[in-house]
Amino acid sequence: MRYDDSPPPPESAASVSPDPPWYARRSTLAVAVAALAPTALAGWVLTQVLTGSGPGGQPPQPKALPASHTAGAGAGDAKSSTTTPSPAAPASASTSASAPAPAAPAKGPLAGRTVVIDPGHNTGNFKHTSEIDRQVDIGTNHKECDTTGTTTNSGYMEAEFTLDVSRRTRTLLESKGAKVVFTHDADRPWGPCIDERARIGNEAKADAVVSVHADGVSAGNRGFHIILPATVKGGAADTSKIVGPSRDLGERIAGNFARSTGSAPANYLGSGTGLVVRDDLGGLNLSTRPKVFIECGNMRDAKDAAQLTSPEWRQKAAEGITNGIVGFLGG
């Protein structure tokens, strides 16, 4: 979902980039995807067998969309800590939120690579509004710790969707040898805050970070888009080193996601490229690792919602995200 209630971000203008758009790389990507297809298919079949398709036991949630549904990006605690990743830091919520890595030695094209997946929001956020409304420092600004996310008109929560797609993506990435770290895995009542989400990626020294979301705008707005970090500098935020690689990551995910799901780039922003640059998201501003957000579709549009609520479609979404990451990492 969108990350604040402010008008459409001025960064949309900044999304007009001199760089060749992702679709201009189609031929190269097609070759890569073709090479990956057998593995991806095998992974898909295995995942279908192993994981089933239900959204998985989440409690009923309010259907109303709160006014503040923002993936706020805060860095409240970042002010007192430093921008230097400190893996040796005392165990904290960020450490406990990270999913354990598989114990077996990794083999595959992504062996030795670390990918952090950030399932947007948390199904418990609706019950912890005071906690998630806390303002945190995102370097360039202050924003809410976290937001509730949106829902479909029938009440399927964005937070359920993001966790399901993230888990499917983890399965696929691990099958290729990657170490996958989650920012949360339904193992905490709310959050984490956006600054902590960023910090988890930084401290993991992630080779790539993807934050999974779905949008919640008016019906008729359809399609997916990738949000890329703008160049920002302020407080703990300095994206100068990740803007370039993050765009590469985002373009590769956009191309693969379109191919895997059959979805089109968003028709309501990004000028049809499926790419948008924003400078107001703490999860991006505070990242020191290549990172993008993906808005997989619009939960408030009936046609998009029909896809987002389909386990089969979510598997395709996970495949698209995975293939984009694999392409970025050269696996």
Q: Contact residues for Zn ion (CB under 5 A)?
A: 1, 71, 120, 149, 213
What are 280's two structure tokens? Answer: 């107001």
Structural Rg of the chain based on CA atoms: 18
- A 10 A CB-CB count for 160 gives 24
Give 39 or 123: the residue with its C-beta nearer to Zn ion. Answer: 123
d(CA 182, CA 165): 12
> Shortest Cβ distance from residue 109 to Zn ion (Å)?
30
Nearest to 294 by CA among 152, 111, 158, 99: 158
Please give the torsion angle defined by the CA atoms of residues 216, 221, 225 and 231, in that order, rounded to the nearest 10 degrees: -80
Cα distance from N-terminal residue to C-terminal residue, the chain = 30
Give 297 or 324: the residue with its C-beta nearer to Zn ion. Answer: 297
Strands 233-234 and 237-238: antiparallel
> Shortest Cβ distance from residue 20 to Zn ion (Å)?
28
> Shortest Cβ distance from residue 262 to Zn ion (Å)?
22
> Shortest Cβ distance from residue 242 to Zn ion (Å)?
20
Give 209 or 329: the residue with its C-beta nearer to Zn ion. Answer: 209
What are 139's two structure tokens? Answer: 């370097």
Which helix (H) or strand (E) segment is 214 a member of? strand 208-215
Give 1 or 317: the residue with its C-beta nearer to Zn ion. Answer: 1
d(CA 260, CA 326): 14
Catalytic residue among 144, 158, 196, 295: 295
Give 121 or 289: the residue with its C-beta nearer to Zn ion. Answer: 121
> Shortest Cβ distance from residue 227 to Zn ion (Å)?
10
Indicate if 319 belongs to the active site.
no
Residues classed as catalytic: 295
